[in-house]
Amino acid sequence: MTDTTTMEDPPMAAWEDLGNAPPPPMSQQFNEFIVSFSDMYMFPSPYHIFLNRIWLIQTLACLAYLISKKRWVPLPPSKRTSPWPVRQMKWMLIIQIIFYTIELMVTGMTVKFQPMAAHHLDAIVLFIFILWEFNIIAVPTMMPFLAHTIYWSLGAVDDNLLAVYNWVFFFVGLWALDISARLGNSILSPRIGILCVAEIAINYFTYCTVFHGEYCLHHLGIFKNIHIEWFVENMILFSMAGSLVYFYGLWMRRRHGDDLSKIWRWWWGALPDGVYGYKAIPNRPGLGMDMV
């Protein structure tokens, strides 16, 4: 009869011979998991698709609330409100900042896909400033988020959706610059609009250089006699577009003073009742609106 009380565990080599070696420590598994991304241009598509489907739900919830409240323009800082459909957008932005930062750190993006690395860096700074000036959240602000999350939620394979996203992003950047010019830095600083326009310049550069796009300034013969880098071309032209809109807004503000109904007429006519924290008062010259 075998005395089991004196039996010892088999040596480690015996377990390895049997193919039953114990798993490595969790720290080693985690390190191997991180190292597995180092040769990648960016995280695999399923990672982006999963997060963007969650962000799409968040974006739609916020957008539905903003439309119901007719918030077509940013609120004045003194009138900031944070109901949950709007407040939860902060978490979306924070998670995006974390996700982009980790992607920059653990993948080979900064070496192998530098235009996308520039895109991520600009987006991180942009999201930080949106969190800082959260009163910019309005219906137009949500349009680039909506287009971006739809594009990724559908698998990031539709170039038409990608083009729509970039055009919407560009016009929202111009919209933000116009608002900051017409209403001043106390309402919205121009840095958000500048970062939006810079992001589109980076995206356009990526489209033309990495993906060899057809509709590029270089192919159209612009700057053909000036030997400058494509990225510089993009930054010059997009900066010119942003500057024109911004200085036009400043001109409108100087021309009409504090008459908001005229300042805003270039976009959508007189402000609707209640929008921008004002309520229209009939038969009153000049401003024609009082705070509510």
Residues 170-226 pLDDT 10s: 999 998 888 888 777 767 888 999 999 999 888 888 887 777 777 776 655 555 554
Q: Return d(Cα 190, Cα 174) in angstroms, integer.
A: 10
Ranges 35-39, 73-77, 242-246, most confident: 242-246
Q: For residue 148, give every residue at least 6 positions away whose Cβ sits within 8 Å of its Cβ, in sequence order, or none.
A: 52, 165
> How far, in Å, CA of 149 to CA of 71, rounded?
21
Over the range 165-200, which residues count as b (16 or more CB within 10 Å of their CB) and which as e?
bbebbbbbbbbbbbbbbbbeeebbbbbbbbbbbbbb
Residue 231 contacts by C-beta under 8 Å, 6 or more apart in sequence? 201, 205
Q: What is the pTM of this model?
A: 0.75
Give dist(CA 265, CA 262) in Å, integer: 5
| Range in 93-97, 187-191, 248-252, 255-259 with the lowest mean pLDDT | 255-259
- pLDDT tens-digit profile of 44-96? 889 999 999 999 999 999 999 999 888 887 777 665 557 888 989 999 999 99
Q: Whole-angstrom Cα distance, residue 201 to residue 183?
A: 26
Read off the pLDDT of residues 115-165 as tens digits, 9 standing for 90 and up.
899 999 999 999 999 999 898 898 999 999 999 999 999 998 888 888 889
**CA–CA gap between residue 220 and residue 223 (Å, rounded):** 9
Angle between helices 84-106 and 45-68 (to 10 degrees): 160
Q: What is the pLDDT of residue 110?
A: 87
Judge contact between 63 and 144, C-beta under 8 A.
Answer: no
Angstrom distances, CA of residue 195 to CA of 59, 137, 260: 21, 16, 26
Q: Are strands 278-280 and 289-291 parallel, antiparallel or unpaired?
A: antiparallel
